[in-house]
Amino acid sequence: MERRHALEELKLRLTNKNLIKHSLAVEAIMKALAEHFKEDADKWGLAGLLHDIDYDKTANDPAEHSILGAEILEGLGIDEEIVYAVKSHNDYHGIPRNRRIDKALYSADPVSGLITAAALILPSKKLSEVTVEFIMKRINEKGFARGANRSQIKACEDFGLSLEEFISISLSAMQSISDDLGL
């Protein structure tokens, strides 16, 4: 599926503008990670873009989140690797993350929230002013970006990156689309 069509499908199913921005951020991170590892950036980008396609229907039901998303993606004819990565990104199901794309999506999802929170606490609220050092200083603060699961973020080591490398790649990716994110 082409990215343009995937974005249309996402917007048909998600009404929350911030969730769409989150999906764009995770897409950018996944593409950057794919480029870093010399993987298929289009495939990885689609996994990031579509990972929460079911969220309007499953926000209050973790038992359904990502399972319904995988079903939607199968119905759209999305590549099986993307479907599996989406299905396995929700810890609730205990689905093993076997491939690098699965592991990357698992960590990319919460790191986008951490980076967004870092921008929003700055007076300018701009990603351009966020640094890796700033995020590394804040990452262990329990009160900062509470919804960004630190163990998921730190699982970046499972796919071959140090935490600092992962934050750097992710921040740069989000900065490259800062206008789309409104940050």
Residue 36 belongs to a domain with what CATH number? 1.10.3210
How many Cβ atoms are within 10 Å of 143's Cβ, its own excluded? 6
Residue 14: pLDDT over 90: yes
Domain range enclosing 119 = 3-181
Q: Is 66 left (phi over 0), alpha (psi -120 to 50) or beta?
A: left
pTM: 0.97
Tell me the average pLDDT of the chain. 97
Residue 169: pLDDT over 90: yes
Report which residue type is found at 20. I
Q: Render pLDDT for 16-70 as a digit per residue (tens, 0 to 9).
A: 999 999 999 999 999 999 999 999 999 999 999 999 999 999 999 999 999 999 9
DSSP state of 146: T
Residue 156: pLDDT over 90: yes
Per-residue pLDDT, 44: 98
Backbone phi, then psi, for 124, in 5-degree steps?
-80, -20
- Domain count for the chain: 1
Per-residue pLDDT, 165: 98
**pLDDT band at residue 78 using 50, 70 and 90 as cut-offs:** very high
- For the residues 146-156, what does the mean pLDDT come to? 96
How many Cβ atoms are within 10 Å of 81's Cβ, its own excluded? 16
DSSP of 23-75: HHHHHHHHHHHHHHHT--HHHHHHHHHHTTTTHHHHTT-TTTTTHHHHHHHHH
Q: Render pLDDT for 94-124 as a digit per residue (tens, 0 to 9).
A: 999 999 999 999 999 999 999 999 999 999 9
Tell me how far the alpha carbon of residue 139 is from its chain's centroid: 17
Residue 142: pLDDT over 90: no
Helix 3-13 to helix 41-50 angle (10° resolution) is 10
Q: Using CA atoms, how far apart are residues 117 and 130, in angstroms rounded to an integer? A: 10
Per-residue pLDDT, 110: 98
Closest residue by Cα to residue 23 from 2, 68, 54: 54
